[in-house]
Amino acid sequence: MGKHSHCARIRESGIIVVVRADSSGELVDVAKALQQGGVGIIEITMTTPGALGVIEDVRGALGDDVLVGAGSVLDAETARATILAGAEYVVSPVLAEDVITMAHRYQKVVMPGTFTPTEMFRAHTLGADFVKVFPANIVGPGYLKDVLAPMPHLAIVPTGGISVDNIGDYIAAGAAAVGIGSALVKKDWVRDHKFDLLTAAARDLRETVEAARGA
């Protein structure tokens, strides 16, 4: 699958799960549980210990069953390293232009971080496939709706403070997808290996997104 199919897959899912765990093995189990619940887009942040190895391990264990991306990427060198490790998309908390350029070089999906309408427009002009809005909880779903009114072409992905209770509001406001982390992947579930609960929660979240899109 190529870049365009990966973009379509992210849009179709509507959910990007930011995952963290104490080991590659645990993270593989988390990814499997999410995939079984119908959520197959995961983001492994570069703040994860041994992140590059984790990306390789998850790709090796699950292949194309999940779409693995790298998060918290701040520069071109790190972007390249994550891509060579197997990341199919690259996410940054900031508008790092060299990250966009590097992702383009390798034909990977890129999602830079923005906050203001000007930053969102700039990211889109530079060729961002998606525009991450972070931290989204500061402004809420209404902000997305207001921004999209004059710029409906933006594929906005709000991240930060997203919960199972408000994810539907962001989707209904026009988000192309939403980034969610510990509100879905609860630390005690991972610690106690209660992956069946994670699968059930992922399935419920997917239903919430689909309902919001149909509203």
Position 202 pLDDT exceeds 80: yes
Q: What is the pLDDT of residue 25?
A: 87
Q: What is the pLDDT of residue 215?
A: 60
Of 155 and 2, the structure prediction assigns the larger pLDDT to 155
- Coil vs helix vs strand at 125: helix
Rounded Cα distance, 8 and 40, in Å: 13
Mean pLDDT of all residues belonging to the chain: 96
Q: What is the pLDDT of residue 73?
A: 99
* Mean pLDDT, rounded, for 173-191: 96
Rounded Cα distance, 119 and 79, in Å: 20
- Note whether 199 and 34 are within 8 A (CB): yes
Token reading at 90 = 């690259």
C-alpha torsion sign, points 16, 183, 80, 66: negative
* Mean pLDDT, rounded, for 205-211: 97
**pLDDT > 70 in the chain, percent:** 100
Across 123-141, b (16+ Cβ under 10 Å) vs e yields bbeeebbbbbbbebeebeb
Rounded Cα distance, 170 and 135, in Å: 13
Kindly report the number of other CB atoms within 10 A of residue 188's CB atom. Answer: 8
- Reported as a pLDDT band with limits 50, 70 and 90, residue 211 is very high
- Note whether 82 and 52 are within 8 A (CB): yes
Residue 192 DSSP label: T
Q: Which domains does the chain have, with CATH numbers?
A: 3-214 (3.20.20.70)
- Reported as a pLDDT band with limits 50, 70 and 90, residue 159 is very high
The single residue listed with the structure tokens 């699968």 is 199
Q: Whose CA is closest to 180, among 212, 213, 147, 135?
A: 135
* Mean pLDDT, rounded, for 5-18: 98
* Mean pLDDT, rounded, for 132-160: 98
- Residues known to be catalytic: 43, 132
- Reported as a pLDDT band with limits 50, 70 and 90, residue 21 is confident
Position 36 pLDDT exceeds 80: yes
* Mean pLDDT, rounded, for 24-45: 95
Rounded Cα distance, 49 and 58, in Å: 14
| pLDDT tens readout for residues 40-75 | 999 999 999 899 999 999 999 999 999 999 999 999
